[in-house]
Structure 1
Amino acid sequence: MPDRIALIRAVNVGGAKLPMAQLREIASELGATEVSTYIASGNLLYTPPGVSEDFDRALEKAIETRFGYYREVISRTPAQLREALAAHPFEVANPKFSYVYALTGTPTVKAVNEFESREFPTEVVRVIGDDLHIRYNAGAGQSKLTATVIARILGVQGTGRNLNTVAKLIDLAS
């Protein structure tokens, strides 16, 4: 079973193409084992050859070298994703509109308070540790709550996956 699940930010949108076959190849070249991907949105399951943080940074650098753009690699253990899924604080009317947004770090209390006190027109939000939970009323594609807005207010970058995807990644890692 893979030890880690990497969520790579903003791939296969706009000009940032990252074929999943090449992502698996890069991860294997860097020494990862039990390598697989799930859908073409930057989800990598793997067991790193050493310290996961070191592997994640090496993967970022390898993607940048091969494809010419930088993207954050945010990884979690299956247990961490399971905990994030269980901690989702909102009623889930439709799992594809509810997200766990994995952050690159834990935002400051001040940033969290500022973010959570804002009124977003069609979303409800809550930060729990190094995860942001979002429930969109009309889907992420229609939202004004963009990655740029989130990073600017929280002071950390991140990437989101809907609850269906999070549950599937946990299942694939088990």
Structure 2
Amino acid sequence: MRIHLLRAINVGGTAKLPMAELRELATGLGATDVSTYIASGNLLCTPPGDAGSFDRDLEQAIDAQYGFFREVVSRSREEVAAALAAHPFEVVEPKFSYVTFLTAAPAPEAVAAAREVPTGEDRWEVIGREMHVRYADGAGRPQMKHATIGRRLGVAGTARNLSTVQKLLDLTA
């Protein structure tokens, strides 16, 4: 079973994709053990064959059926557990701490360029293919410009707070 995370689904009034329809798309592509968690694009399933190919097929199916492209980033349960364990910041409030699952590890020079963006009391760190974030006052009141940092990193990603990451692990146990 893998955890497939869709970027920017059902947030801010754009990219509407009902989870029942996401489950149908995944099943139609040959996935088994299909389920979703909350409406923000968290798909749990066993993909047929290569996970990367399934992710690309799912991106194309969403684009074809709904008219918008959204990256799909997937990880094994073990990779998600390792990312959670590697979170480098003290967790004061789980909903203030996030893991952004990236499509690839950013280049060192991209990380250096992103470090130039002011963050206030917010903190971030890239570890492999994940960017860990701790917001001082929560994601709703960020001091750092997450989008600017993401653009400088040069790789797409999708963030989940630590509570959601833990729940996804619990659901795949």
Aligned partner letter, 1:156:
V
Q: What's the counterpart of residue 10 of structure 1? A: 8
Separation (CA, whole Å) in 2 of partners of 1:19 and 1:147: 26
Structure 2 unpaired stretches of 5+ = none
Separation (CA, whole Å) in 1 of partners of 2:108 and 2:164: 28
Separation (CA, whole Å) in 1 of partners of 2:24 and 2:143: 35
Separation (CA, whole Å) in 2 of partners of 1:147 and 1:72: 17
Q: What's the counterpart of residue 103 of structure 2? A: 104
SS of residue in 2 equivalent to 1:40 = coil
Superposed CA RMSD in Å reads: 1.3
Deviates more, 1:20-29 or 1:134-143: 134-143
C-alpha contact 2:122 2:143 (8 A) present in aligned 1: no
Match runs of 1:147-158 below 5 Å: 148-158=147-157
Q: What's the counterpart of residue 172 of structure 1? A: 171
Structure 1 unpaired stretches of 5+ = none
Deviates more, 1:43-52 or 1:148-157: 148-157
Aligned partner letter, 1:12:
N
Match runs of 1:70-89 below 5 Å: 70-89=69-88
Aligned partner letter, 1:5:
I
Normalising to structure 1: TM-score of the pair?
Answer: 0.94
Change (3 A) 1:148 1:119: closer
C-alpha contact 1:147 1:158 (8 A) present in aligned 2: no
Identity of aligned pairs, percent? 55
1:143 deviates by 2.0
Separation (CA, whole Å) in 2 of partners of 1:154 and 1:84: 18
1:118-149: CA deviation from partner (whole Å, max 9, x where unpaired): 43024100000010000011111222545532
Normalising to structure 2: TM-score of the pair?
Answer: 0.95
Stretches of 4+ aligned residues off by more than 6 angstroms: none
Change (3 A) 1:145 1:31: farther
Change (3 A) 1:4 1:146: farther
Q: What's the counterpart of residue 38 of structure 1? A: 37
Number of aligned residue pairs: give it: 172
Separation (CA, whole Å) in 1 of partners of 2:137 and 2:15: 25
